Copies of this chain bind each other. A is one copy, B any other.
Amino acid sequence: MFGFNYYTPTKVVFGKGTEMKAAELIREFGGKKVLIHYGGGSVIRSGLLKKVTDTLDNAGIPYVTLGGAVPNPRLGLVYEGIDLCRKENVDFLLAVGGGSAIDSAKAIGYGVTNEGDVWDFYDYKRQATACLPIGVILTIAATGSEMSDSSVITKEEGLVKRGYSSDYCRPKFAIMNPELTMTLPDYQTACGCADIMMHTMERYFTNGGNMEITDALAEGLLRTVMKNAEILARDPKDYNARAEVMWAGSLAHNGLTGCGNDGGDWMTHKLEHELGGLYDVAHGAGLASIWGSWARYVYRDCLPRFRRFAVEVMGVEPAASDEETALKGIEAMEDFYRRIHMPTNLRELGVRATEEDLAAMAHKCAVGVGGSMGSAKVLYEEDMLAIFRASL
């Protein structure tokens, strides 16, 4: 068991109609001029953006808007947002959307409050010392960015996808109305569930350090998401299932399910970042397509955890050997992915990668993590390549 810091200052306001509290919450956290940052047209078509700007108008809070945050959000738009904030003296960011809009807002927040190129932080060159305060109206349950300390940005040049984490960017508030996720395409809902689970699984598969209380919370969370992901695959309009998944999404990535561990493994995420940068696939689907290959490559080096996962999360009956039990757990997880129509390899993901592509991704990944990384098993470039190959 390791010592840990746990810091989740985000005020969560959860339930039907909570988006009407945006102005009140912005005021509570001192916002005087707001940039409303969102993604595509869905928040316009659904009427959500209008509803939000109406509440700000009524409260007399001035704002500017910037749309266009795309999945795997781009650095170019971040620069645009920084310029706009400076020009308009914006002191508060309101992200309306999912992880893309939130992560993009976080990068804008860093850029406005720190000198120099904001990409430096994502390129591991220096540390941020501040971020603009951020509020969130969440419309996609997936990344957990609404409570997390992390953001992931893609630089167009070379399609480099990198994450940067600091407590400065943790949102001040997160408005979560499960109804806002009802209009999401089924594929995106399933991608979100895969992403949510992976945030906790990355913290779960470690060699040493796990606390019992953390394991109990993690396992309960994973079982709950699985059950409700399957409900949503059948009935996307089930409010309770939407709510369970939405709240689990925040808890899966706010730090709770990693307390006392060694920091987690995170290699499935790192491998997926390369896929996402190169092929612009949905993050959750990318994770699902790689996880099985990663798991089969590393499970012998992390057997007690894979065995426990099989029994406690996947409900596998213990087999004659721990290896066998562990493998059954991995298979059960892939079966679950299939039931919610997630891919379990690159072909199913729709990616036709050449050996050169795989080698390039493995190389970029290894460079990105400084040579090697992982807790379940420490992976080097050759391991990364082997996992990419196995996932074809």
Contact = CB atoms under 8 A, between A and B. Distances in A.
Interface in A1-32: 1-9, 11-16, 18
Nearest to A8: B8
A14 B18 contact: no
29 contacts: A1-B239, A1-B240, A1-B243, A2-B15, A3-B15, A5-B11, A5-B12, A5-B13, A6-B14, A7-B11, A8-B8, A8-B9, A9-B11, A14-B259, A14-B260, A211-B243, A211-B244, A211-B247, A212-B224, A212-B228, A213-B220, A213-B224, A213-B247, A216-B220, A216-B221, A217-B220, A219-B220, A243-B260, A247-B260
Given A6-B12, A8-B8, A256-B256, 17 more contacts: A1-B243, A4-B12, A4-B15, A5-B12, A6-B11, A9-B9, A14-B259, A14-B260, A211-B243, A212-B224, A213-B221, A213-B247, A213-B248, A216-B221, A216-B224, A217-B217, A220-B220
Q: Which of A219, A247, A256: most chain B Cβ within 10 A?
A: A247
A21 to B, nearest CB: 10
Contact of A7 (B4, B12, B220, B251): B12
Contacts of A247: 211, 213, 259-260
A223 interface: yes
Interface in A208-253: 211-213, 216-217, 219-221, 223-224, 227-228, 239-240, 243-244, 247-248, 251
B3 A213 contact: no
A153 B213 CA distance: 30
Contacts of A228: 212
A227 B244 contact: no
Nearest to A173: B7
**Nearest 3 CB-CB pairs, A to B?**
A3-B15, A216-B220, A6-B12
A9 B224 CA distance: 25
Contacts of A216: 220-221, 223-224
Nearest to A219: B220
A223 B217 CA distance: 11
Given A5-B12, A240-B1, A217 B221 contact: yes
Contacts of A240: 1, 211
Contact of A3 (B11, B16, B212): B16
A9 B3 CA distance: 19
Contacts of A223: 216
Interface string A139-175: 0000000000000000000000000000000000000
